[in-house]
Amino acid sequence: MIKTLVKNRTSYTSRWIVLLIDISLSLQAFLFAYLIRFNLSLSFGSHEFLQQLPLVAIASLVSFLLIGSYKGIVRHTGAKDAIQVFWASTLLAAILLVSTLIFRNYNLYEYLSIPLGIILIHYLLNIVLLISSRFIFKHLFNRIISSYKAPLNVMIYGAGDSGLLTYNTLSNSPNNRYKIVGFLDDSKLKIGKQFNRVKIYDPKVIDEKFIEKSKISEIIVSIQDIKPLDLFEKVDRLTQLPVKVKIVPPVQQWIDGDLNVSQIKEVKIDDLLERAPIQINNPIVQSEFKGKIILITGAAGSIGSEIANQISHYNCKHIVILDQAESALYDLQQSFIRAGVKNFSAVLADIRNEHRMKAIFEKYKINIIFHAAAYKHVPLMENFPYEAVKVNVVGTSIIMDLAVSFNVDKFIMVSTDKAVNPTNVMGATKRVAEVYANCLNGLGNTKFITTRFGNVLGSNGSVIPLFKRQIAEGGPLTVTHKDITRYFMTIPEACQLVLEAGVMGNGGEIYVFDMGESVKIVDLAKKMIHLSGLRYPEDIDIVFSGLRPGEKLYEELLATEENTIPTYHDKIMIAKTQKRDHIKSMEETNRLKNLENYSVLEIVKILKTIVPEYVSKNSEFEQLDKQVVKVKKLQTGA
């Protein structure tokens, strides 16, 4: 019997059977109403009672059919079903009351005239019986199913609001197979306490012995508002234990604001990379973009597309998304159309074409520019300095000059930590662009603002997608050096901070973001192997390929002569940069606009003139640094 019930648990009881049961319960409630009215005595005139039963049955049938209270799935009964039963019972009482008044006033079928007290008692009993019967059946069904299946011993990581909601969701699940044996929490204030008689443990005490002794099958991570890399650390440690690790999705992904058991799934790498813990709800940001025409260059890239998506939620007058990558720009255009965004234009153009850019400025009357267009891959740009300078310096300077000419309100440039004490061509070109922006600031009405941050998790060309491909191919994972470290931030997080910095800027600032602690790339590689359900080095190995041309062991967000000034946002600081000779910097940068007149070595030499701190590493351009040192020695007589 139980096996048959379990086997058929996905098939639902016929609604007509439910309807017949409801009518039966209504008739039983009618009998109880008479018994209560006459003090549990049978001397109430059984002849009239029996004659009234067909009327009650017909009235019940009509009420239940009209309201549809019988249509709900009984085993999933909830508040909405209870409300339906309430209205059906109310309609039934109304029908009986109206029919009784008619029979009395017109002296028709007086034996069908039901006493008003009976109608009232029947109404109340109906509500209690019909609703309670549904919940009793639901409880019995769940008990039978859960008692037949062996329960899974589960621990929930996180004893905060999200963890407690997860506990309630699992406990109230229709197919409840879960036995919550404990919580895990890092807070010392919570460790040792209990929630609903379930103890809260310190995660540090959870090891293989504890898992085996308590027969833990799953650990569900239910923590919101946590940095991706912190979550990465926690999950990585858990995946090394003999237990399944699952994760609760961010609140935004819950169905109608409620967590469903089906949403709790085994951890994937993407689950850890897509969280955006920094939330910006600044009304100033909203008012800044209201009614403005905004240009986003490099809009089809990882950063540019996220900036475009976030800005599309503000009440802008028009958004111009510009890129030279045809396919990627088409994808962004289509995503805007699917999202119902109408106030935008997709422009296929190259920022290096001054004539084309000028026509765009004349057409759209731009107020604010987010400049994300750039070549960013260090090894490629080290091999092709001409292209790096042509886009990152010349193309950027064209947009900046036009911004001044057309009285654009603000120009916000997306820069990189590689511009700090650069060791490669890419970083040097971005630093030149920073310097040029600083030189132009104050020459017109345009406020030039620079934002500088590190690597972005999951962006095009970043290490995460590379590792994912290498794991899918069976390895090995390639890391350039065992000691190399990088700062990381999620794409939405970085773009939210870019918008915030753009609003707070008054012109001339370089904003640096709090990237947290830097991460060893080799540790990141090991974590990704573990999260893929594989072992290092047994299943997938890591090989060290050596530093690439221009690559640093570690990145910096500030140059040696820089320090920071805090802002009202604890994640954003202003870098205090060393003053430069603006006239000389402008002259040297303008020289680069005539790239065809110079050889590759001469181009890099001009970069080093504009950015004296640019010292090449593991690159053919180190010879230029040696020449500079030699000249300095001759000048000093050393």
The reported pLDDT for the residue numbered 7 is 43
Asked if pLDDT for residue 8 goes beyond 90, the answer is no
Report which of residues 220 and 411 the model is more confident about. 411
**Range with the lowest mean pLDDT among 175-184, 414-423, 503-512?**
175-184
Is residue 635 scored above 60 in pLDDT?
Answer: no
Average pLDDT over residues 366-384: 94
Q: How do residues 124-162 score in pLDDT, each as one tens digit?
A: 888 888 888 878 887 777 666 655 566 789 999 999 888
Check residues 619 and 172 and name the one with the higher pLDDT. 619
Provide the terminal-to-terminal Cα distance of the chain, rounded to the nearest Å: 99
Query: Regarding predicted confidence, which is higher, 513 or 378?
Result: 378
* pLDDT-based confidence at residue 628 (cuts at 50, 70, 90): low
pLDDT at 634 over 60: no
pLDDT the model gives residue 560: 52
* pLDDT at site 292: 95
Burial of 362 (0-12, 13-18, 19+ CB in 10 A): exposed
Q: How confident is the model at residue 570 (pLDDT cuts 50, 70, 90)?
A: confident
Tell me the DSSP string of 402-467.
HHHHTT-SEEEEEEEGGGSS--SHHHHHHHHHHHHHHHHTTSSSPEEEEEEE-EEET-TT-HHHHH
Measured from the Cβ of residue 301, the count of other Cβ atoms closer than 10 Å reads 25
What pLDDT is attached to residue 4?
Answer: 46
**In this structure, what token pair is assigned to residue 331?**
């994808």
Q: Which residue has the higher pLDDT, 573 or 458?
A: 573
Look at 359 and 234; give whichever has higher pLDDT.
Answer: 359
Average pLDDT over residues 50-72: 83
Q: What is the pTM of this model?
A: 0.65
Distance of CA 519 to the CA centre of its chain: 21
Q: Report the percent of the chain where pLDDT is more than 90.
A: 31
**Over residues 514-536, mean pLDDT:** 81
Higher pLDDT, 415 or 573: 415
Res 466 pLDDT > 80: yes
Q: Which residues, 6 or more positions from 346, have their beta carbon under 8 angstroms from its beta carbon?
A: 321, 329, 330, 332, 333, 336
Q: What is the mean pLDDT of residues 119-128?
A: 87
Mean pLDDT of all residues belonging to the chain:
83
CA distance 279 to 377: 29
Give the residue among 382, 393, 399, 436 at the shortest CA–CA distance from 592: 393
pLDDT of residue 465: 81
Instruction: Give residue 247's pLDDT.
Output: 86
pLDDT band at 538 (very low <50, low <70, confident <90, very high): confident
Q: What is the pLDDT of residue 241?
A: 85
What integer is the mean pLDDT of 63-69? 84
The pLDDT score that the predictor gives to residue 355 is 96
Q: How far apart are CA 264 and CA 246, in angstroms?
A: 6
The per-residue pLDDT for 475 is 85
Choose between 442 and 344: higher pLDDT. 344
Residue 543's pLDDT is 94
Phi, psi (5° rounding) for residue 324?
-100, -10
pLDDT at 533 over 90: no
Predicted pLDDT of residue 468: 84
Q: How far apart are CA 505 and CA 146, in angstroms?
A: 59
- pLDDT of 106 higher than 90: no
Return the higher-pLDDT residue of 506 and 549: 506
Q: What domains can be seen in the chain, in order of their start residue?
A: 2-147 (no CATH), 152-273 (3.40.50.720), 283-610 (3.40.50.720)
What is the spatial distance between Cα 413 and Cα 373, in angstroms, rounded to a whole number?
9
pLDDT (mean) for 275-303? 80
DSSP state string for 120-143: HHHHHHHHHHHHHHHHHHHHHHHH
- Parallel, antiparallel, or unpaired: how do β-strands 510-513 and 572-576 relate? antiparallel
